[in-house]
């Protein structure tokens, strides 16, 4: 990585603004944190700063408050969880700028931590407003971006503040870039991309960019319906992106020309309705009826995918194979997770819901790398420039 990192700037006894990604999943009813992986992922950077006597000012968003104060999206619970994990008290400001944040930052001592309020309570954050970025930057003496999961956004706390403070990448951001670069620049072969999720449009860039690098592309999830429809299969009531049918056809033709094996489901689980009580039925893709919708890959497909992955030395996975939230439609996804966990290969999980699934199943430690960035990891793998990374200075 050619960007300056936290090791390249002097943070000793300085007040350091750190953009982290504490956008953790919450229980809809209680608001409790259901997975604190994103908090734990940035601990190396936080501890690095504490060990050097820095005053650490943490800045994050949570959810999509759209520039308004939403009580259930305050960072108080996250601040408490971080304090528990670190085993030390910290300060929490109920705004990310303003008198309280300014006072707490000014009083922050060596090795102490301040958590600012949800940065997206201010509409100026997403607008990358220069005045807002300058006010935020005034709290500190230097800036560290450790929020890979948000680095595809040109927001004030990601891009704007770098204009006003000496800036560098945190240890997590560095780790993300190195691991994701590794599978796109110099992967061991055979290399497979296992892709699921709802939309083809979310994965077009990934498929296109890695086409020249992979040996296999395995398609599951809701997006498989669009590919099957493009091959003239009946997909019933399954949601398809009609405007992406030609794109799916082009991708399949491109795979063929590049000698890449693009595998679609051979069988699927279908149902009449999507609910917790719904019953599924396994059918071959030739036998999907007009009143059914696809909700998971079938056992034959899972077996074919598993056998293919077992041949590989590198696997990138993003997107569930079915509706994971409904237990009876989660078998395909669980089989893929178990398969990757058993491989003697480089296995990279592309963040988002896939990372949450792997963590929930207790398999995170059996993967080579689990990214904290959903959309960011997809854009990075797609070959796009991430504004948050681009804004950081190059290493001298």
312 beta partners: none
Q: What are 221's two structure tokens?
A: 């999830």
Q: Name the active-site residue from 14, 199, 306, 313.
A: 199
Q: What are 302's two structure tokens?
A: 């899972």
The whole-angstrom distance between residue 55's C-alpha and the CA centroid of its chain comes to: 28
Q: Name the active-site residue from 3, 15, 19, 38.
A: 38
Q: In the chain, which residue ranges form alpha helices assigned H by DSSP? A: 37-41, 43-51, 76-86, 99-107, 123-126, 130-137, 171-185, 204-210, 223-230, 245-257, 299-309, 331-342, 352-360, 375-381, 387-390
CA distance 140 to 50: 15
Q: Name the active-site residue from 53, 98, 182, 375.
A: 375
> Is residue 375 flagged as an active site residue?
yes
Q: What are 157's two structure tokens?
A: 């706390």
> Is residue 102 flagged as an active site residue?
no
Q: Return the percent helix, strand and coil in the chain, to nearest 5.
A: 40, 15, 45
Q: Name the active-site residue from 55, 170, 332, 352.
A: 352
Number of H-type helices and E-type strands within the chain = 15, 15
DSSP 269-300: EEESS-STT---EEEEGGG--TT-EEEEE-HH
Q: Which residues are catalytically annotated?
A: 38, 199, 352, 375
């Amino acid at each position: 990585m050619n960007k300056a990192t936290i090791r390249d700037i002097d943070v000793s006894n300085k007040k350091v603004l750190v953009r982290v990604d504490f956008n953790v999943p919450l229980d809809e009813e209680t608001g409790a944190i259901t997975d604190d992986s994103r908090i734990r992922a940035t601990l190396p950077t936080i501890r690095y700063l504490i060990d050097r006597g820095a005053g650490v000012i943490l800045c994050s968003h949570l959810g999509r408050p759209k520039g308004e104060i939403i009580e259930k999206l305050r960072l108080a619970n996250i601040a408490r969880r971080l304090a528990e994990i670190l085993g030390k008290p910290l300060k929490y400001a109920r705004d990310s700028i303003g008198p309280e944040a300014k006072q707490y930052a000014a009083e922050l001592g060596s090795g102490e931590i301040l958590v600012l309020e949800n940065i997206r309570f201010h509409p100026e954050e997403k607008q990358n407003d220069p005045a807002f970025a300058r006010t935020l930057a005034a709290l500190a003496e230097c800036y560290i971006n450790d929020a890979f999961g948000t680095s595809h956004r040109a927001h004030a706390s990601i891009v704007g503040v770098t204009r006003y403070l000496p800036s560098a990448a945190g240890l997590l951001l560095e780790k993300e870039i190195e691991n994701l670069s590794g599978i796109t620049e110099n992967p061991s072969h055979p290399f497979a991309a296992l892709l699921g999720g709802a939309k083809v449009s979310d994965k077009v860039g990934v498929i296109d960019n890695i086409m020249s690098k992979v040996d296999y592309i395995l398609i599951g999830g809701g997006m498989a319906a669009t590919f099957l429809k493009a091959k003239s299969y009946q997909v019933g009531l399954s949601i398809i992106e009609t405007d992406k049918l030609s794109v799916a056809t082009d991708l399949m033709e491109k795979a063929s020309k590049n000698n890449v094996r693009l595998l679609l489901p051979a069988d699927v689980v279908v149902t009449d309705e999507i609910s917790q009580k719904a019953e599924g039925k396994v059918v071959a893709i030739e036998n999907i009826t007009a009143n059914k919708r696809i909700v998971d890959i079938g056992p034959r497909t899972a077996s074919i995918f598993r056998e293919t992955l077992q041949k590989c030395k590198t696997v990138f996975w993003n997107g569930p194979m079915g509706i994971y939230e409904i237990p009876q439609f989660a078998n395909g996804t669980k089989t893929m997770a178990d398969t990757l966990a058993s491989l003697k290969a480089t296995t990279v999980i592309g963040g988002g819901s896939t990372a949450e699934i792997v963590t929930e199943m207790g398999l995170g430690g059996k993967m080579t790398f689990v990214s904290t960035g959903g959309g960011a990891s997809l854009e990075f793998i797609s070959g796009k420039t991430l504004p948050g990374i681009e804004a950081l200075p190059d290493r001298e």
